[in-house]
Amino acid sequence: MTATAAVLTSGAVHLRGVVKSFGSTTAVAGLDLEVQRAQVLALLGPNGAGKTTTVEMCEGFTTPDAGTVRVLGLDPVNDSAELRPRIGVMLQGGGAYPGARAGEMLRLIAAYSARPLDPDWLLRTLGLTDAVRTSYRRLSGGQQQRLSLACALVNRPELVFLDEPTAGMDAQARLLVWDLIDRLRKDGVTVLLTTHLMDEAEQLADQVMIIDHGRMVAQGSPAELTTHGAELQLRFSAPSRLNVTLLGMALPEGYRTTEPQPGRYLVEGEISPQILATVTAWCAQQNVLATDLRVAKRSLEDVFLELTGRELRE
């Protein structure tokens, strides 16, 4: 193997200069992406940012117009037959036969695998034992998602693609799936997931990539993204529409106070214990309780909205 090839195949997923257009619309515009083995990478972006197209190129369902895509060192289109047994794909639409029973569907996929996981164990682990004889179309949305996840994992993949893995799930099911994803990483499985849930990405991901209009706008660990540029910031939550002008008057000259989102406040300037005390005392004077105070740290949602804007996209 040449030195160049070694660089291309060192990670589990490697994209370099990838472009994909549909007619006059450019879905992916020169994207670079690297996912290291045994890591979880969360791919974030607004609707229409290019997330699904990017993942479909990695899975071999879509061919790039330009650039390089390598998954486990292989071309996902030309080497599909070799790659397919080594990856797991969880589709947001489920991908199951509507009339098939949950247990039948999982066992059918297991039958095509060289060394599958025990389907009964997977059904128990994902809380689907009571739904084994229920047809896919009669499962709840959360049950369909969990069955789709089971189908993606039953062949013991080295790499798994998860598209909105906890969409439609209740709180207990979400935590169950989070725990399973964490166990996959500890077992050496690489995970590339897309999600609209910022707390999910912050909880699970080793690396986060935010894309917009088909381009990468930020990448790093959740800690790096939420602390970078926030050294002079104090954030807190309180009832919405407080008079931030009056709060600014209570602070020394040079501080800026805003309400970026309803009920979420930002104070910009050198944050000292005295400033923190002034803010909480001012809130007390307004007879409101300041909660979730954070110094030198933003939430991942704050970062996402700052980079991609707040307007709703179709």
Q: How confident is the model at residue 295 (pLDDT cuts 50, 70, 90)?
A: confident
Judgement on whether residues 221 and 271 belong to the same structural domain of the protein: no
Judgement on whether residues 251 and 196 belong to the same structural domain of the protein: no
Judgement on whether residues 238 and 142 belong to the same structural domain of the protein: no
CATH at residue 194: 3.40.50.300
pLDDT at 21 over 80: yes
Handedness of CA 145, 76, 160, 212 (dihedral sign): negative
Judgement on whether residues 240 and 118 belong to the same structural domain of the protein: no
105-160 tens-digit pLDDT: 999 999 999 899 999 999 999 999 999 999 999 999 899 999 999 999 999 999 99
Looking at the chain, list the stretches that DSSP marks H as alpha helix, in order from N- to C-terminal side. Answer: 3-9, 51-59, 80-83, 102-111, 119-125, 141-153, 171-186, 198-204, 222-227, 244-250, 273-285, 300-308
Q: What is the pTM of this model?
A: 0.81
Kindly report the backbone phi and psi dihedral angles of residue 204, in degrees, each rounded to the nearest multiple of 5, phi listed first: -100, -35
Number of domains in the chain: 2
Rounded distance between C-alpha atoms, residue 229 and residue 215, angstroms: 21
Rounded distance between C-alpha atoms, residue 8 and residue 34, angstroms: 10
172-215 tens-digit pLDDT: 999 999 999 999 999 999 999 999 999 999 999 999 999 999 99
CATH at residue 280: 3.30.70
Tokens found for residue 63: 């061919």
Judgement on whether residues 212 and 64 belong to the same structural domain of the protein: yes
Number of Cβ within 10 Å of residue 314's Cβ equals 4
Share of the chain above pLDDT 70, in %: 93
Last residue of one domain, picked from the residues 165, 191, 225: 225
Judgement on whether residues 89 and 164 belong to the same structural domain of the protein: yes
Give the domain range for residue 250.
Answer: 231-296
204-262 tens-digit pLDDT: 999 999 999 999 999 999 989 988 766 688 999 999 999 999 999 999 999 999 999 99
Asked if 100 and 136 count as a contact pair (C-beta separation under 8 A), the reply is yes
